[in-house]
């Protein structure tokens, strides 16, 4: 667990909290349901029992010795000294005397509840019985208090249970994710050296074949071999970058202000040779002033480069690619549009899935756009794609604009040179005009 990344720790904490909340909600629901059922049963049983006693006392009870909490009123009978005020109810007595129909009533008075039953006895007398529910109401209050205590105990038990269950349930998953991440990193590192050697050797053989004027099929085969080795190396690089992002998603030590306009012009300059070999026109439409975002420059360069590489790969000869930069509502936008074959709007979400195979070219695979979305998301931004078949495609990145230096600690603004770097990119050269990487959009 100690080797887990911050993202995994955050996932563990969320999972534990979720388990604790769900457990607490279940216990709370159970206690509430049981309490509600118990209260309903007790209230109904008390009411039924008390009403039976009141009716019996009114119809058959001894007028001089009523039961506890009961008072009997009848003509010629003096009520007890502790009888509640306001009784008997004269209207009920007169009504029963007139129509001989028994009458029951509930009266709320003096912070208590009285059950009143007025009965016409067989001897012709009208008797009214009054019962005080004070003690029954106190029993119900005690029940709710007990349920409240049980609820608090249940919530405490839920917190402890949730913590224990969360630790036991999520720990194996985190360990599995950690091992998977370690395996990807180790495998990528171990494979990089032999693949680089294979790629270099294939390039040397291809150059020797060209120098010795070997038959075209031999030279073409060696060129394809070198290209395949380069593609495999690109996939390994993406795996390493993805593992690095997962292990340290924020990378605060590498974050600094980045001029997105200068970065875009630099990336376009790096791809100028490849775009020229395909007779493509690449235009950067940006303001003359900087558009600054905060982030990891290498990761942002990788994201912009992926969009441009994807556009070059899918734009036919003589086409046009436009890189537009703008600012709106506290965000900086970078959009790359092309005049290629376009894309299916219903398959936009699939473009950002790892190793997705497009319907137009099942051989396309990789992590390019998936890694692009991962980079943008880590920078608290969004990426979207739009287009129609035959009308080109447009990929848009939006990132939060860097706050004013008056509100943020001063940092040196990172400016990106606009000339093309000399030497192999990403550790190995790439043939001009050839396939760049396997992560292009499978439109």
DSSP 8-class letter at 429 = -
Q: What is the pLDDT of residue 73?
A: 92
Q: What is the pLDDT of residue 259?
A: 93
Nearest-angstrom CA–CA distance, 251 and 5: 12
Is 170 among the domain residues? no
* Closest to 166 in 3D by CA, of 285, 59, 19: 19
Q: Rounded mean pLDDT of the chain?
A: 78
Q: Which residues pair with 383 in a beta bridge?
A: 397
Q: Is the preceding omega at residue 105 within 30 degrees of 0, hence cis?
A: no
Q: What is the pLDDT of residue 354?
A: 63
Do residues 125 and 267 share a domain? no
Residue 415 or residue 128, greater confidence: 128
Do residues 405 and 258 share a domain? yes
pLDDT confidence tier of residue 118, bands split at 50, 70 and 90:
very high
pLDDT, tens digit (0-9, with 9 covering 90-100), for 296-355: 887 888 889 889 988 998 899 999 999 999 998 889 999 999 998 888 777 777 777 765
3-class DSSP state for residue 188? helix
Nearest-angstrom CA–CA distance, 440 and 422: 24
Residue 337 or residue 247, greater confidence: 337
Nearest-angstrom CA–CA distance, 160 and 142: 27
Nearest-angstrom CA–CA distance, 134 and 141: 11
Q: Tell me whether residue 170 is exposed, middle or buried, using C-beta atoms within 10 angstroms of its C-beta: 0 to 12, 13 to 18, 19 or more.
A: buried
Is 221 among the domain residues? no
Nearest-angstrom CA–CA distance, 245 and 14: 20
Q: What is the pLDDT of residue 367?
A: 55
Q: What is the mean pLDDT of residues 13-40?
A: 80
Q: CATH number of the domain at 46, please.
A: 3.30.450
Q: Which domain holds residue 102?
A: 9-138
**Residue 42: partners with Cβ closer than 8 Å, 6 or more residues away:** 139, 140, 143
Is 208 among the domain residues? no
> Which of 38-42, 357-361, 420-424 has the highest average model confidence (pLDDT)?
38-42
Q: 166: alpha, beta or left, given left = phi > 0 and alpha = psi -120 to 50?
A: alpha
DSSP 8-class letter at 347 = G
Number of domains in the chain: 2
pLDDT confidence tier of residue 184, bands split at 50, 70 and 90:
low
How is residue 311 written in tokens?
């556009």
Is 179 among the domain residues? no
Host H or E run for residue 197:
helix 134-211
Is 368 among the domain residues? yes
Do residues 263 and 122 share a domain? no
Host H or E run for residue 299:
helix 297-314
How is residue 157 written in tokens?
């038990």
Q: CATH number of the domain at 261, please.
A: 3.30.565.10
Q: How many CA atoms lie within 13 A of 355 on its CB side?
A: 4
Is 175 among the domain residues? no
Do residues 133 and 264 share a domain? no
Q: What is the pLDDT of residue 291?
A: 92
pLDDT, tens digit (0-9, with 9 covering 90-100), for 168-181: 766 676 677 677 66
Q: Of 49-58, 201-210, 367-376, which range is least confident?
A: 367-376
Q: What is the pLDDT of residue 338?
A: 92
Query: Degrees (nearest 5) of the Cα angle 260, 263, 265?
Result: 110
Q: Judge if pTM exceeds 0.75.
A: no
Q: What is the mean pLDDT of residues 372-394?
A: 87
Q: Of 182-191, 245-254, 279-288, which range is least confident?
A: 245-254
pLDDT confidence tier of residue 92, bands split at 50, 70 and 90:
very high
Is 238 among the domain residues? no
Is 289 among the domain residues? yes
* Closest to 392 in 3D by CA, of 280, 231, 286: 280
């Amino acid at each position: 667990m100690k080797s887990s990344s911050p993202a995994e720790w955050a996932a563990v904490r969320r999972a534990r909290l979720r388990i604790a909340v769900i457990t607490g909600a279940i216990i709370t629901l159970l206690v509430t349901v049981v309490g509600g059922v118990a209260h309903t049963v007790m209230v109904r049983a008390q009411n039924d029992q008390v009403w039976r006693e009141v009716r019996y006392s009114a119809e058959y009870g001894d007028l001089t010795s009523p039961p506890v909490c009961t008072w009997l009123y009848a003509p010629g009978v003096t009520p007890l000294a502790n009888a509640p005020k306001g009784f008997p109810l004269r209207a009920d007595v007169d009504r029963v005397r007139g129509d001989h129909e028994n009458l029951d009533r509930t009266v709320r008075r003096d912070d208590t509840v009285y059950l009143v039953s007025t009965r016409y006895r067989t001897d012709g007398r009208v008797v009214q019985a009054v019962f005080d529910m004070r003690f029954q109401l106190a029993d119900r209050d005690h029940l709710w208090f007990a349920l409240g205590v049980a609820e608090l105990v249940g919530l405490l038990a839920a917190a402890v249970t949730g913590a224990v269950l969360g630790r036991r349930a999520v720990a194996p998953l985190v360990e599995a994710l950690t091992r998977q991440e370690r395996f990807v990193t180790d495998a990528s590192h171990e494979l990089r050296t032999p693949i680089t050697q294979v790629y270099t050797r294939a390039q040397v053989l291809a150059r020797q074949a060209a120098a010795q004027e070997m038959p075209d099929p031999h030279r073409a085969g060696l060129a394809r071999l070198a290209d395949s080795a380069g593609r495999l190396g690109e996939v390994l690089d993406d795996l390493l970058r993805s593992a690095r992002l997962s292990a340290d998603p924020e990378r605060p030590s590498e974050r600094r202000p980045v001029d997105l306009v200068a970065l875009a012009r630099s990336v376009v300059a790096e791809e100028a040779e490849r775009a020229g070999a395909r007779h493509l026109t690449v235009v950067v439409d940006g303001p003359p002033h900087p558009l600054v975002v905060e982030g990891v420059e290498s990761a942002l360069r990788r994201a912009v480069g992926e969009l441009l590489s994807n556009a070059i790969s899918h734009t036919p000869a003589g086409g046009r690619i436009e890189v537009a930069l703008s600012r709106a509502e506290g965000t900086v936008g970078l959009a790359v549009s092309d005049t290629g074959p376009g894309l299916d709007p219903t398959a936009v979400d699939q473009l950002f899935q790892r190793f997705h195979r497009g319907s137009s070219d099942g051989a396309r695979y990789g992590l390019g756009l998936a890694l692009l979305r991962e980079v943008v998301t880590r920078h608290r931004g969004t990426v979207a794609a739009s287009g129609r078949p035959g009308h080109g495609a447009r990929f848009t990145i939006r990132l939060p604009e860097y706050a004013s230096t008056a509100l943020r600690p001063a940092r040196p603004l990172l400016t990106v040179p606009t000339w093309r770097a000399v030497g192999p990119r990403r550790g190995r050269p790439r043939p001009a005009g050839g396939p760049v990487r396997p992560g292009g959009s499978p439109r």
